[in-house]
Amino acid sequence: MATTQTETRPASVLSREKVATEKDPVHISLCGVEVRSVSSDKGALRNDSWRGNEGHIAITPLRKDGTTTNIVKSPSTFSRSTNPSNDSSSPRSHSELMNLAQEISAHLTEATSGSEPARLKVATAALQLAAALRPPSDAIMSLFANMSVVSAIRVFHHWGVLDLLPPDPTRGTACHEIARLINAEEGIVSRIAGMLTSSRVLSLTPAGEVCHTATSLLLRSSEPMAAMFDLMYNNVVRVSDILPAYFDRYGKAEPVGPGRVPATVLSGEAEMGYFESVARDEERMSRFTRAMAVASGRVPVLGIYPLENMLLKEDMEGDGGRVTWVDVGGGGGHVLRRFRKDCAALRKGRCVVVDLRGVVDQGRIEAEGDEVMRGVEWLEGDFMREMTVEGARFYYLRHIVRDYSDPVATLVLRNVAQAMNRDSRILVSEQINPDGGGTTGRPMPLYSAFKDYSMLAIGGKERSLAQFERIGKEAGLRVEAVYRDSKGTEHGVIEFVLEG
C-alpha cells in the first residue's frame, strides 16, 4: 500500500539532514527508494489514539555509493496516498470504508496483544471509520460533547470526587454516597457522573455505582496529569473565551510577547510574560513543572539524537572543566535525568541546569540523594537576558523555543549563540511541523495542530524546519542536522552551530 515519495525540501536543507547509523535509526528527509513498515517502541504513544495520524514508514534510501541505510521518516512528510489520515470530513467511497474495516480486523488481535504499531493502525483506522460515518451536524455537536466532558471533569475535580472514589476500578461508589461525602445534591452528582460514564472517563458497576477507569485514575489530584489538565483548561478553554476580544484589541496577528499574550491578558497581568506570571506564585510554578513532566513523557526524549555516539567522539579528557551539557530552561531536571540515566558518557561530563530561581531551587532539593543526578549543577539564569555558561559542548533547549514568537525565540537563541564556542552545538528538541503548517494541501496531524494552537495562549508556536532555519539565521546560527523521531510523532531534534 505504501508508495515512495520524493522529498520536496530545497536541496539546501536536504544536504544537511542526517543519515542514520545502525545504532541510531535517525530519520531524515531524503527521497525514499524502498518503503516498508517498521516496528515501533512500546509505550511512548499509549493513550494517544486520538492523535489522528498514526503509523510510520521506514525508508531505505540509496546513498551516493549505492549502499543503503535505515532511515525512518515521520508520516506527515509523505503524500496522502501513503498516509490517508486527517481528512476525516471528506466523503469516502464504500471500498475505502471496507478497507478501513479490513485494516481494523487485520490488526486487532496483534493490537490487543501489546503491539504498538498494530494498536496505532487499528486506532487510526477506527477513528477514520467513525468520522466517515458521522453526519456533518453530528461532527459539530460532538465537538461540544467533548467540551462537556472537559467541563464535567473540571467540576468533579474541583469537588474532589475523583480523589474519593476507590482506586480499584472494580469497586464503585453510589451517587447518593458521593453526594453525602461532598455535601451536594444527589441529582447534580448523578448528572455530572452521567456525562463522565457515557464518555467512558468513569465507569459503572452492574449495580450502578460509579468507579474509576484507567483514564480517571490519571486525573486524581496527586497525579501530574491533573496539573496538565489544569494547564490545558486554562490555556485552551479559558483563553478561547477571550481570544476574539484579544484580537480585536491587539490586532489580528500572532502575539509577539513576552507581554500581552492571551494567557496573561486573561489573568489580568497583560504586561507580563507568561513565565514571569507563573513564577510569581510558587504553587502555580510547582504545578507547571509537574505538568511539564507529563508533556515530556508524551514525546520521546531518548533515541532521537545520537548523544552517546557524539560524546564518545569528543575528547572529554583534559577538558579543563568545560561544561558538557547545559539544559537551558531544564525545569526540575527531569529530562536531563533521563539522558544521564541512559548515557554513561554524559554522567561523566559536567552538566548544568539553567532555569528561573524557584525552579532550580526546587530541582536541586528534589535531586538530593539521587545517584543519577549527582554532581549536576543548578544555576539560576534568565535566557532572555544572557546565557552565563560559556563554551559548553551542548546547549539543549527542549520545549523552549516553541514557547515564544519568532522575535523572542530569536533573542533566546542569540543569547545562547553568544555563549558558544565554534565547536558548541545547540540542540532544539521540539515538534517539527510539516512545511506549510498544514496549508499545502495536506492537513497536519490533529495532535500536532492542537499543540501549535495551544501555544498561542502563551505567545508561542510550533515551527516547520524552514521556520527554525529562519530564526536560527537571525540569531547567527545555521542548521547542521535534523533528527526526526522514528516512533510516529512529529518530534525531532534540530542541531544548530554557529554560522560562518
Ligand X SMILES: C[S@@+](CC[C@H](N)C(=O)[O-])C[C@H]1O[C@@H](n2cnc3c(N)ncnc32)[C@H](O)[C@@H]1O
Q: Which residues pair with 73 in a beta bridge?
A: 57
Contact between 218 and 202 under an 8 Å Cβ cutoff? The reply is no
Binding of ligand X at residue 377 (CB under 6 A)? no
In the complex, what is the shortest distance from the CB of residue 458 to ligand X, in angstroms, rounded to a whole number? 9
Question: Are 328 and 336 within 8 A, CB to CB?
Answer: no
Distance in angstroms (rounded) separating the CA atoms of residues 148 and 166: 24
**Shortest spacing between CB 305 and ligand X, in angstroms:** 14
- CA dist 428 and 451 (Å) reads 17
Question: Least distance (Å) from ligand X to the CB of residue 415?
Answer: 9
**Contact call for residue 232 and ligand X (CB under 6 A):** no
**Binding residue for ligand X, selected from 75, 262, 300, 330, defined by CB under 6 A:** 330
Rule CB under 6 A: say whether 261 interacts with ligand X: no
Binder among 351, 376, 400, 426 for ligand X (CB under 6 A): 400
Is 335 an interacting residue with respect to ligand X (CB under 6 A)? Answer: yes
Range 278-307, binding ligand X (CB under 6 A): 292, 296
Does 383 participate in binding ligand X (rule CB under 6 A)?
yes
List, in sequence order, every residue forming a beta bridge with 431; answer none if it has no partner: 491
Nearer to ligand X, 403 or 490 (CB): 403
Residue pair 136/184 in contact (Cβ under 8 Å)? The answer is no
Find the part of the chain contacting ligand X (CB under 6 A) among 66-74, 158-166, 202-210, 392-400: 392-400
User: Which range touches ligand X (CB under 6 A), out of 74-82, 92-100, 382-390, 478-486?
Assistant: 382-390
The cell for 285 is 510554578
Look up cell 509523505; give the residue: 78
Instruction: Please give the residues from 18 up to 77 whose contact with ligand X meets the rule CB under 6 A.
Output: none
Q: Which is nearer to ligand X, 329 or 472 (CB)?
A: 329
Asked whether 202 and 216 are in contact (CB, 8 A), the reply is yes
Q: Please select the residue that binds ligand X; options are 51, 73, 398, 484, rule is CB under 6 A.
A: 398
Strand partners, 428: 397, 494
Find, among 455, 410, 416, the residue nearest to 274 by Cα.
455
Output 55 or 332, the one with its CB closest to ligand X.
Answer: 332
Is residue 211 within 8 Å of 165, Cβ to Cβ?
A: yes
Among 133-141, 260-268, 325-333, 420-428, which window interacts with ligand X (CB under 6 A)?
Answer: 325-333
With binding defined as CB under 6 A, does residue 456 bind ligand X? no
Measured from the CB of residue 65, what is the shortest distance to ligand X in angstroms?
38
Which three cell numbers, joined as nine digits, stand for 145? 460533547
Residue 7 or 327: the one with the smaller Cβ distance to ligand X is 327
Among 92, 121, 399, 461, binds ligand X (CB under 6 A): 399
Q: Which is nearer to ligand X, 24 or 403 (CB)?
A: 403
Q: Would you say 82 or 362 has its CB closer to ligand X?
A: 362
Angle of helix 334-342 relative to helix 282-298, nearest 10 degrees, comes to: 40
331 binds ligand X (CB under 6 A): yes
Residue placing its CB nearer to ligand X in the complex, 122 or 326: 326
Secondary structure of residue 441 in the 3-state scheme: coil
Q: Does 491 bind ligand X (CB under 6 A)?
A: no
Name the nearest CA neighbour of 494 among 400, 429, 436, 425.
429
In the block, cell 478497507 appears at 99
Task: Kindly give, in sequence order, each residue whose CB lies less than 8 Å from that of residue 1, ignoring residues fewer than 6 positions away.
Answer: none
Of 129-137, 395-403, 433-441, 475-483: span binding ligand X (CB under 6 A) = 395-403
| Residue 455: CB minimum distance to ligand X, A | 10
How does DSSP assign 239-274, residue by residue? Answer: HHHHHHHHHHHH-SS----SSS-HHHHHTT-TTS-H
Beta strand pairing status for 425-433 and 350-355?
Answer: unpaired
State the number of binding residues for ligand X (CB under 6 A): 18
The correct pick among 78, 229, 246, 275 for binding ligand X (CB under 6 A) is 275
Greatest distance between any 2 Cα atoms in the chain:
75
Q: Which three cell numbers stand for residue 473?
A: 539565521
CB of 59 or CB of 356, closer to ligand X: 356
329 binds ligand X (CB under 6 A): yes
DSSP 390-423: -S-SEEEEESSGGGS-HHHHHHHHHHHHHH--TT
363 lies in the site for ligand X, by CB under 6 A? no
Please report, as ranges, the residues that interact with ligand X according to CB under 6 A: 275, 292, 296, 329-331, 335, 355-356, 359, 381-384, 398-400, 403
